[in-house]
Structure 1
């Protein structure tokens, strides 16, 4: 944990928002991380709503629960779903909107953004050869290539294995393949995780296989995994650019994806609809759309 994270706690978030709510009268949108904030700030109404970065899911749920218990109104949280529909939603008190997919990056990739990226950075001939069949969905293809890591993530969560995925090195079937290898991935992740709670390689491989058989690729999708796969695929399978085929390249592609996510794409999601429902129920404004509608009605 870095020094900034140490300084941010449930209590510091709670105290800051409680004070600012009394002073400003604004609504507050709590998000897990800074990248989430950068996306959602483009859609929120700055005069009416402040976006607060909680630096993690635990702090976000803790803060929204404490604010609700203290009857601080006008606060909404936006959280990654992270398999909650499969394993059960976490306990919390307060108003929380969850991403449609497992995280915001996966939600972005499920939209038209992916098609735009393939049109801009892909090779038309290569994309056509892989996805020329009208029944082949580019979104499902990327998710299928990334699915083994998602299957292991789900198994780790369900079985409380505590596997360490952050900053992992993605292991592919072959040097030029964008398909993640289940065996190499499980071996790599286990080697960098705590031995006390980790499963055996055989247990991990079995869990990956079972989850791949039980769930669709998109249900297992994780944004970081899909970005890594997309970066790799644009080098050889779907394109001819090496621009994104590195850790720094992955981060650049992720930024491009976030910047490409337009308000009309966000409007098509359940999470957008849930925010609008909350606004109508509470009278607070979060979205630019809502401010524009109210201004038009008042004119």
Structure 2
């Protein structure tokens, strides 16, 4: 009930703000998303509103959008992570709701040349040469197993806990190869889900992997950053764990992400289309 009240409160705050502000409101999922999009929006004609909280920031963003749309509120746009929605039924469809190109904002950063810049800065040329694999591809190939198990957990109602799992327990730090049984056991231990059978989960995982979904829609950005953190310690770098911890890496990726990279995304195009369909409301700066 408290969540519903807080969603109504956000919607009412935006309605109240409209009395003195005639420009665009853009709803985003949280503080880091707001920090990212602030670099591209025209702050003179667009205001970003962070709608974070439990149980899901994304669901709260959509709930606020629905409330405002039902009252025919003009100049409202929401941008959320796609998550697994391109692999299943969309949660909510609206011309005022846009999604990231890939699974989430972090995978958009990793797919872009921002990753190359961070690896060049924090990696070792010699180790990268010895690694002899494309770093981005290696992250995807390893992270997809974790992504699929997260999707399986959601689809099958397994309620597995992914937050706080120790990636070094199931990923080889030298090769970045994943041991799926060790991953399954780490998830079971973290979730206290000992009734689940290793073999059943592994077979379910193999069945999903055989469908060859787009890895950029399956892999979760936070997982890929965890794997990148591991790789920069031994496989492609010699950093101390504290120097390449995941939150710091995500910040580095955001800083390395240039405006020209954003202009190459479908999300950028979708925002421009929204602007043309909702004149005179604007979102992005003209010089982007």
TM-score by length of 1: 0.86
Residue matched to 1:230? 228
Bigger drift between 226-235 and 5-14 goes to 5-14
Matching of residue 279 in structure 1 with residue 280 in structure 2: no
The structure 1 residue matched to 2:162, chosen from 165, 175, 199, is 165
- Structure 2: where are the runs of 5+ without partners? none
Name the structure 2 match of 1:44.
41
Does the Cα contact within 8 Å between 1:127 and 1:238 map onto a contact in 2? yes
1:18 aligns with 2:19: no
Aligned match of 1:146 in 143, 150, 154?
A: 143
Residue equivalent to 2:30 = 33
3-state secondary structure, aligned to 1:24:
coil
Query: What SS is found at the alignment partner of 1:78?
Result: strand
Structure 1 CA distance for aligned equivalents of residues 19 and 45 of structure 2 = 14
> Does structure 2 retain, via aligned residues, the 8 Å contact 1:122–1:239?
yes
- Are 1:163 and 1:189, in contact at CA under 8 Å, matched by a contact in 2? yes
Closer, same or farther: CA 115–31 of 1 in aligned 2, 3 Å: same
Deviations 1:34-86 (A, max 9, x none): 11111011111111111111110110111111110111111111111111111
Name the CA distance, whole Å, in 2 between partners of 1:76 and 1:139: 32
* Within-5 A mapping of 1:139-218: 139-170=136-167, 171-174=169-172, 176-193=174-191, 195=193, 199-215=196-212, 216-218=214-216
Q: Deviations over 1:66-120 (max 9, x none)?
A: 1101111111111111111111210355611100110000011000011111211
Q: CA RMSD in A?
A: 2.4
The secondary structure found in structure 2 opposite 1:214 is coil
Aligned to 1:77, what secondary structure does the other structure show?
strand
Maintained 8 Å contact 2:173/2:231: no
Q: Distance in 1 between matches of 2:130 and 2:172?
A: 19
Shift of 1:175: 5.1
- In structure 1, the gaps of 5 or more residues are 294-299
**Contact 1:8–1:54 at 8 Å: present in 2 too?**
no
The offset of 1:174, in angstroms, is 3.2
Instruction: Kindly indicate whether the alpha-carbon contact (under 8 Å) linking 2:138 and 2:176 is maintained by their aligned counterparts in 1.
Output: no
- Shift of residue 158, structure 1, vs aligned partner: 2.3
Aligned to 1:297: none
Which residue does the alignment assign to 2:219? 221
- Aligned counterparts of 2:226 and 2:31: Cα–Cα separation in 1: 20
TM-score, normalised to structure 2, is: 0.89
Which residue number in structure 1 is paired with residue 70 of structure 2?
69
After the TM superposition, list the runs of 4 or more consecutive aligned residues in structure 1 that deviate by more than 4 angstroms. 5-8, 243-246
Q: CA separation in 2, counterparts of 1:70 and 1:24?
A: 17
Give secondary structure in 1 for the equivalent of 2:25. Answer: strand
SS at match of 1:257: helix
Which one of the candidate residues 264, 270, 276 is aligned to 1:268?
Answer: 264
Contact 1:177/1:232, CA 8 A, preserved across alignment: no
Written as runs of structure 1 = structure 2, the 5 A alignment for 1:236-275 is 236-244=234-242, 249-275=245-271
What SS does the corresponding residue of 1:147 show, helix, strand or coil?
helix
Contact 1:164/1:192 (<8 A) preserved: yes
Distance 2:262 2:5 in 1: 29
